[in-house]
Amino acid sequence: MSRTAAYLRFYPADTSTPLVHQAALRAYADTLALPYPTVYLDDGLSWRCPLPAYERLLEAVRSGWHDAVLIPGPWVFALPDDFARARMKQLAYYCRVLELPRARR
């Protein structure tokens, strides 16, 4: 299994955006010389609902399967910033959480 993971969550379900973000996260992994990420996807689920892929990711980092998790931004975990930061902190206890750099304007 890859030592690098990526987490994505979109609500409501979107057919094109996840693919764009997956490609951006793969390119970011290449830039950082990280292995191709294993993608954990909770597509179409609200942050208020149980997130099975996030729970699998959390268990994987706790078990040492991944030492880095790539995300497009904190919003991927939850819409309210405090919830998003709490989930990031939960993962960051076990591994590095790397956010895509913002595009320059």
Domains identified in the chain and CATH numbers: 4-99 (3.40.50.1390)
Task: Please report the pLDDT score of residue 1 as a whole number.
Answer: 52
Task: Please report the pLDDT score of residue 102 as a whole number.
Answer: 78
- 10-66 pLDDT, tens digit each: 866 666 667 788 888 999 999 999 999 999 999 888 888 899 999 999 999 999 999
Cα separation, 101 vs 103, whole angstroms: 6
How many Cβ atoms are within 10 Å of 49's Cβ, its own excluded? 10
Cα separation, 61 vs 88, whole angstroms: 12
Q: Which amino acid is at 30?
A: D
* pTM over the 0.85 mark: yes
